[in-house]
């Protein structure tokens, strides 16, 4: 069951890229991961709402009609590692492609929120999108090890 990661941002720093690459290589043992980077709307946008709406249009184009879309949002439900494992497992059982969306600096546009099947937060703290992306990758890897009963989780 492939996983799609859609992220709004300018890309990761070298340090974040190195960490993300490490987790992507580990995830390759279990699944294929496709990454889509959406460039944020220029900072000169007339308002944060205009920026979010413009980014949302691009995000929606990156999603496929059958994707189960999970957005990362500071207002989303708290998710445990076991919850991530259940998301992966349920998507696999249903044959549904799984897409995770990391929003831009102002969050997700209304159209992305409406399209989402689930909204989770990775922490009670607000995370920079680069940090959130790396944490998500680690949690996806952890989820797979939980599903497989491998010792990484505990």
**At 34, phi and psi to the nearest 5?**
-110, 140
Domain 3-148 has CATH 3.40.640.10: no
Dist. CA 23–CA 85, nearest whole Å: 16
51-78 residue pLDDT tens: 899 999 999 999 999 999 999 999 999 9
20-29 residue pLDDT tens: 999 999 999 9
Q: What percent of the chain has pLDDT over 90?
A: 77
Token couple for 35: 């990454």
Domain spans in the chain, listed from the N-terminal domain onward: 3-148
Dist. CA 31–CA 28, nearest whole Å: 5
Dist. CA 149–CA 154, nearest whole Å: 10
Q: Is the pLDDT of residue 10 over 90?
A: no
Question: Which of 50, 34, 32, 57 is CA-nearest to residue 112?
Answer: 57
* Residue 39: other Cβ atoms inside 10 A: 12
Q: Taking the model in full, what pTM does it have? A: 0.93
- The pLDDT-based confidence of 153 (bands split at 50, 70, 90) is low
């Amino acid at each position: 069951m492939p996983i799609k990661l859609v992220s709004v941002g300018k890309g990761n720093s070298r340090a974040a890229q190195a960490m993300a690459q490490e987790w992507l290589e580990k995830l390759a043992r279990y699944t294929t991961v496709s990454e889509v980077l959406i460039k944020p709307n220029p900072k000169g946008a007339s308002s944060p709402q205009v920026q979010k709406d413009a980014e949302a249009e691009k995000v929606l184009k990156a999603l496929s009609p059958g994707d189960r879309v999970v957005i990362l949002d500071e207002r989303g439900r708290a998710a445990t590692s076991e919850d991530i494992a259940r998301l992966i497992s349920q998507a696999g059982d249903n044959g549904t492609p799984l897409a995770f969306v990391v929003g831009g600096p102002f969050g997700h546009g209304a159209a992305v929120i409406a399209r989402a099947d689930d909204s989770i937060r990775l922490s009670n703290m607000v995370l920079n999108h680069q940090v959130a992306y790396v944490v998500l990758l680690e949690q996806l890897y952890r989820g797979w090890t939980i599903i497989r009963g491998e010792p990484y989780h505990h």
